[in-house]
Amino acid sequence: MFGKKKNTPSIDSEQLELIQNAQRRIKQKKRLYVHFVIFLIGSIFLILANTVLGIGEDVKFFGKEWFLFAIFIWLFLFLYHVFNVFITNKFMGKDWEKSQLEKLVAKQQNRIEKLKKGFEKEEKLMAQSQVYNQAKPQTKVPLEKSGHKQDLTIIVAAAENDAIGKNNQLIWHLSDDLKRFKELTNGHHIIMGRKTFESFPKPLPNRKHVVISRQENYKVPEGVIVVNSLANAIDMAKNDSQPFIIGGGEIYKQAMLFANKIELTRVHHSFEADTFFPKIDTSTWKETQNRYHDKDNNHEYAFSFITYERK
């Protein structure tokens, strides 16, 4: 066990690979040589079978004996074998496979690097918004202390099943609800996601539009502000006593964490939709107003204007 170590000859993996490769080539060439010999003997046999033994004496194709075609086809297969051994295996052998694999790996690594960069950028944006969330109680206090109380208000019309939109459009038309939206938001900042902004035919008059998008060069008409996070959007409206978050689904979900008021129009009907308002958690929100509006000639559905305030 603790005796003198025996000196056994060893070869590294590269040498082993070279030896294996050489053995493989020798085998391939041997097989080709055997094929050649069989081809020669076989051809002579076919000729003798026809001319001496008279096998298929009457069988002719295009006026030529059948064995000529048989030998020709065999010759073609033999040449194909030669091609495989000397061309395909030489130029598309192990080395070629290795270099292709290396190219593929390099390509994949490049893609992974690109994805990583994308994630880092995304993480930075998320962190910005998380920092805002964590900092929220402190940011609110100085505003209140300085006598500048801000009512960050979510304004939304949602059905009984919380549906708010489909195919980037509203699902209903309720003129008194639109009238109320106009009255409440008039003269204020309206903060929205890029998709909601694109659902308008043009910007609404007398309101400062703040559009949230991750796109770097998102083009908007003059006067419209583009920011890359909700935190920055709220910051843009810091001098407004009541900025409004006007949607859509993605932005509402994020804004629920730090809005302190919700102006909800609850449409008393359920709709098929692709965008929904988050559930209002009554342990966080208390209802402070509720006004019912029946359906009539101008309003296909009954609805209620409900105000919630953060507890």
Ligand X SMILES: NC(=O)c1ccc[n+]([C@@H]2O[C@H](COP(=O)([O-])OP(=O)(O)OC[C@H]3O[C@@H](n4cnc5c(N)ncnc54)[C@H](OP(=O)(O)O)[C@@H]3O)[C@@H](O)[C@H]2O)c1
Least distance CB 142 / ligand X (angstroms): 24
199 forms part of the interface with ligand X (CB under 6 A): yes
Between 243 and 248, CB nearer to ligand X: 248
196 forms part of the interface with ligand X (CB under 6 A): yes
Distance CA 44, CA 93 (A): 34
Distance CA 41, CA 44 (A): 5
| Residue choice 214, 238, 286, 311 for contact with ligand X (CB under 6 A) | 214
Number of CB atoms found within 10 A of residue 14's CB = 8
Contacts of 90 (CB under 8 A, 6+ apart): none
175 forms part of the interface with ligand X (CB under 6 A): no
248 forms part of the interface with ligand X (CB under 6 A): yes
Least distance CB 267 / ligand X (angstroms): 9
Q: How buried is 303 (Cβ within 10 angstroms: 0-12 exposed, 13-18 middle, 19+ buried)?
A: buried
Least distance CB 95 / ligand X (angstroms): 47
How many positions of this chain bind ligand X (CB under 6 A)?
31
Rg (CA), the chain: 40
DSSP structure class, residue 87: I
| Residue choice 168, 284, 288, 290 for contact with ligand X (CB under 6 A) | 168
| Residue choice 247, 258, 263, 308 for contact with ligand X (CB under 6 A) | 247
164 forms part of the interface with ligand X (CB under 6 A): yes
Q: What residue has token string 């040589």? A: 33
Q: Which H or E run includes 291?
A: strand 285-293
Distance CA 309, CA 284 (A): 9
194 forms part of the interface with ligand X (CB under 6 A): yes
Residues constituting the chain:
311
Which range touches ligand X (CB under 6 A), out of 100-108, 130-138, 187-195, 288-296? 187-195
Residues forming contacts to ligand X in the complex (CB under 6 A) are 125, 129, 156-157, 164-165, 168-170, 192-196, 199, 212-215, 218, 228-230, 246-251, 254, 275
